[in-house]
Chain A
Amino acid sequence: MTNNELLEVVQSVLGSDILGHEEQYDALIIEIAPKDVLRIVSTLKENEALSFNFLTLIGAIHYPEDLNRELCVVYHLHSWKNAIRLRVKAFLSIENPSIESLCSVFDGANWMERETYDFFGVRFENHPNLTRILNMDEMDYHPMLKQYALEDGTREDKDDRFFGR
């Protein structure tokens, strides 16, 4: 199955749910509204022709300049029947980063969503246990957001002149 054929099938199945689509480096990307994510991903999984049976990855991207679309949650789906991948994106605002959890469709989504929450602060509704996973529970910010520094800040031995900063 090529991306064009895939796009046709996806468009016929989802219709107006697709807000936009593009093809980048041999992968098809579709954009959907955050409120529909659970329904759309289940449809993509259940549909006979598509059967996106495998959730490869969930992640997020932070675009601080993009007003009201600061956070982008990316779902990588994989159809083993057709040997093709599909990326589903949903944009959220940083004030209210809330999106439906996929735990009821894929069990593996559990930790991936916790990680995304930990890194970006995306709140996955109806998640069984949405707590931090990699960082300490006491941490009070979401470190992968662009405004936070990478460095620890406790090192005194680093002279900026030698590190080109």
Chain B
Amino acid sequence: MGKIEDLQVINGEGYQLTTLEQAVGLARANSVWPLPFATSCCGIEFMATMGSMYDLSRFGMERMSFTPRQSDLLIVAGTISKKLGPVLKKVYEQMAEPKWVLSVGACASSGGIFDTYSVLQGIDRIIPVDVYVPGCPPRPEQIIDGVMNIHKLVRHESMRRRYSEEYRHLLGNYEIEVTNAGDDK
């Protein structure tokens, strides 16, 4: 085994080899712009996650994007009632691809303790969800864990996934059209 001094040093800036897919994944994962769709109790815990103690900006996520057009990650935190369902679906449809969904809390994931006439029994009945975070409400650590899982998905997602037939089929199940269909030739 040679010593460090023996290694031939290349002068200049240096370079690294990777695939475009991985480079894009890395860039995407470290600058996710979340859209907090915070309706109730989980929203307050999400605020705590954003706050000074837990500090979501450590993960390149301090830029809350309140307009769906410019956001990558829809964070649904809180109960979604049947009255709000169409609004949530509209917000999801307005987001540009690629987009991910994080369902925070029991209510968003399954209706939670509110198995009642007015509450939607899980947002996955109207939009596809990537990561579910359990808890009522989840602690900020749990929300961060959910975000980390989203990052993992984002980092390893194939660049072709959003143009694939499977993806079109998935959204078709929710009666949503793929938005950037222009360049899928």
Within the complex, are A and B direct neighbours (CB within 8 Å)? yes
Contact of A136 among B83, B115, B116, B119 (CB under 8 A): B83
Quick check: A143 and B83 within 8 Å, CB to CB?
no
Residue of A with least CB distance to B82: A136
Name the A residues within 8 Å of B83 (CB-CB): 135-136
Residue of B with least CB distance to A134: B118
Quick check: B82 and A151 within 8 Å, CB to CB?
no
Produce 1/0 per residue, A147-160, CB < 8 A to B: 01111111100100
Residue of B with least CB distance to A149: B117
Produce 1/0 per residue, B79-101, CB < 8 A to A: 00011000000000000000000
B111 at the interface (CB under 8 A from A): yes
Contact of A143 among B111, B115, B117, B121 (CB under 8 A): B117
Name the B residues within 8 Å of A153 (CB-CB): 117
Name the B residues within 8 Å of A136 (CB-CB): 82-83
Residue of B with least CB distance to A157: B110
Contact of B111 among A135, A150, A152 (CB under 8 A): A152
Quick check: B82 and A150 within 8 Å, CB to CB?
no
Q: How far is the CB of A150 from chain B (nearest CB, A)?
A: 6
Q: How far is the CB of A11 from chain B (nearest CB, A)?
A: 43
Name the B residues within 8 Å of A149 (CB-CB): 117
Name the A residues within 8 Å of B117 (CB-CB): 143, 148-153
Name the A residues within 8 Å of B111 (CB-CB): 152, 155
In angstroms, Cα B156 to Cα A65, docked, is: 63
Residues 112-163 (chain A) with a chain B CB within 8 angstroms:
134-136, 143, 148-155, 158
Contact of B115 among A134, A135, A151 (CB under 8 A): A151
Name the B residues within 8 Å of A134 (CB-CB): 118
Quick check: A151 and B118 within 8 Å, CB to CB?
no
Q: How far is the CB of A131 from chain B (nearest CB, A)?
A: 13
Residue of A with least CB distance to B114: A152
Q: How far is the CB of B110 from chain A (nearest CB, A)?
A: 8
In angstroms, Cα B115 to Cα A154, docked, is: 10
Q: How far is the CB of B118 from chain A (nearest CB, A)?
A: 6
Residue of B with least CB distance to A163: B115
Name the A residues within 8 Å of B116 (CB-CB): 150-152
Name the B residues within 8 Å of A148 (CB-CB): 117
In angstroms, Cα B108 to Cα A78, docked, is: 39
Residues of chain B at the chain A interface (Cβ within 8 Å): 82-83, 111, 115-119, 121
Task: Across the A-B interface, give the 5 residue pairs with the lowest CB-CB distance, nearest first.
Answer: A136-B83, A151-B115, A143-B117, A155-B121, A150-B116
20 contacts between A and B (CB under 8 A): A135-B118, A136-B82, A136-B83, A143-B117, A143-B118, A148-B117, A149-B117, A150-B116, A150-B117, A151-B116, A151-B117, A152-B111, A152-B116, A152-B119, A153-B117, A154-B121, A155-B111, A155-B115, A155-B121, A158-B115
